[in-house]
């Protein structure tokens, strides 16, 4: 009897020790995963910052050919300070007007230069600023009429959006870097298959953090569904085609209002539930947020914007299964776009729609 009792106690002790070791192992694995994701995020942000500095902070070599006198330097400093103060005053006035009244919707917009993108020294960087303004003013071949807001496009010919997307695919097929990936079909066929595969395998939304396995699955969701080669190709496209990201995403989002047109043009069988799940994934889950924060700020803001519109559409249709409260996400997007969205070509259109939604849900 005593031997049996000792044996049972020993067995319980071994089992308890094994459970403790298992919990320690999973805790260590979670810490390592978070650390790895953080390192990737820091690396991408540093790379983005370095690219931004190298593109916008070019100073003509003639500026260093002759040292300025003390009087000239003083005048330049005074001019720079007054210019910066004027810009800050104007920025503060714009922010105050945003708080009191919603901005009017204009069909034509001019590029907005913030303190992040505007040249610091006007006299020495006139040529650089003119070049930046010409690039911002020049229309992209994939631009879509700006008067179209969100999904209110009942009177718009959907064929226009199909043509815009097809033009983008044709542009991809003409690029050497896309040929280097060795796609077996055209970009249109390949990306349509990837979109369908993604819709057929939605992520987990509810109870994501209940167990480590589900969390890791969400963190590596697209890698598991699409594979390493396709992920590498998509990153290459996002890095090289940033100028076309906004109009292409707008065209695709507008086409989701007409699933039959999407099916006819690209063979994509759109599932509204899956589309809603991905919108909730990017807004409401740790895995989705980590995906967005690994991208540049412009891509993150645009994807978050269309995720908000998708959830809003689901709420209107009574299909908001996850019960997401959009108000904090709308406020956060308004703040981020207002303060750091100067690179977005359609920023004013986004803000107009977000202010409409803020009034709607308040």
Which pLDDT belongs to residue 2?
A: 65
Which pLDDT belongs to residue 156?
A: 54
Phi-psi region of 59 (alpha: psi -120 to 50; beta: other; left: phi over 0): beta
Q: SS3 letters for the chain?
A: CHHHHHHHHHHHHHHHHHHHHHHHHHHHHHHHHHHHHHHHHHHHHHHHHHHHHHHHCCCCHHHHCCCCCHHHHHHHHHHHHHHHHHHHHHHHHHHHHHHHCCCCCCCCCCCCCCCCCCCCCCCCCHHHHHHHHHHHHCCCCCCCCCCCCCCCCCCCCHHHHHHHHHHHHHHHHCCHHHHHCCCCCCHHHHHHHHHHHHHHCCCCCCCHHHCHHHHHHHHCHHHHHHCHHHHHHHHHHHHHCHHHHHHHHHHHHHHCCCHHHHHHHHCCCCCHHHHHHHHHHHHHCHHHHHHHHCCCHHHHHHHHHHHHHHHHHHHHCCCCCCCCCCHHHHHHHHHHHHHHCCCCCCHHHHHHHHHHHHHHHC
Residue 288: inside a domain: yes
Residue 33: inside a domain: no
339 is in which domain, residue-wise?
A: 159-361
Question: Residue range 286-300: average pLDDT?
Answer: 90
Residue 2: inside a domain: no
Are the C-beta atoms of residues 87 and 118 closer than 8 Å to each other?
yes
Residue 290: inside a domain: yes
Residue 308: inside a domain: yes
Please state the domain count of the chain: 1
- The 10s digit of each residue's pLDDT in 138-170 is 444 444 444 444 444 444 568 899 999 999 999
Question: Residue range 263-274: average pLDDT?
Answer: 93
pLDDT at 313 over 70: yes
Residue 351: inside a domain: yes
C-alpha span between 106 and 349 (Å, rounded):
8
Residue 327: inside a domain: yes
Percent of the chain at pLDDT exceeding 90: 44
Residue 257: inside a domain: yes
pLDDT at 61 over 50: no
């Amino acid at each position: 009897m005593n031997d049996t009792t000792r044996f049972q106690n020993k067995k319980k002790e071994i089992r308890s020790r094994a459970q403790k070791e298992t919990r320690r192992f999973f805790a260590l694995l979670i810490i390592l995963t978070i650390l790895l994701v953080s390192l990737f995020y820091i690396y991408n942000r540093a790379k983005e910052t370095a690219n931004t500095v190298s593109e916008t902070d070019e100073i003509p070599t003639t500026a260093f050919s002759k040292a300025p006198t003390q009087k000239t330097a003083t005048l330049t400093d005074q001019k720079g300070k007054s210019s910066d103060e004027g810009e800050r005053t104007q920025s503060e006035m714009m922010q105050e007007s945003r708080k009191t009244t919603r901005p009017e919707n204009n069909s034509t917009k001019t590029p907005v230069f913030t303190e992040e993108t505007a040249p610091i020294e006007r006299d020495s960087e006139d040529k650089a600023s003119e070049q930046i303004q010409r690039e911002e003013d020049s229309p992209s071949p994939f631009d879509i009429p700006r008067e179209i807001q969100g999904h209110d496009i009942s009177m718009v010919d959907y064929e226009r959006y199909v043509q815009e997307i097809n033009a983008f695919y044709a542009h991809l097929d003409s690029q050497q870097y896309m040929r280097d990936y060795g796609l077996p079909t055209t970009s249109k066929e390949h990306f349509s298959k990837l979109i369908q595969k993604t819709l057929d395998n939605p992520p987990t939304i509810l109870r994501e953090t209940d167990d480590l396995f589900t969390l890791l699955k969400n963190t590596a969701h697209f890698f598991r569904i699409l594979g390493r080669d396709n992920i590498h190709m998509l990153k290459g496209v996002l890095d090289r085609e940033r100028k076309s990201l906004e109009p292409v995403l707008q065209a695709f989002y507008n086409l989701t209002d007409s699933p039959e047109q999407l099916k006819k043009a690209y063979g994509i069988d759109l599932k509204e539930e899956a589309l809603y799940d991905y919108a909730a994934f990017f807004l409401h889950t740790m895995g989705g947020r980590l995906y967005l924060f690994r991208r540049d700020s412009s891509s993150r803001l645009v994807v978050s914007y269309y995720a908000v519109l998708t959830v809003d559409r689901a709420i209107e249709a009574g299909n908001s299964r996850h019960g997401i409260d959009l108000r904090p996400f709308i406020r956060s997007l308004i703040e981020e776009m207002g303060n750091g969205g100067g690179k977005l070509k359609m920023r004013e259109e986004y803000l107009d729609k977000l202010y409409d939604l803020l009034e709607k849900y308040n």
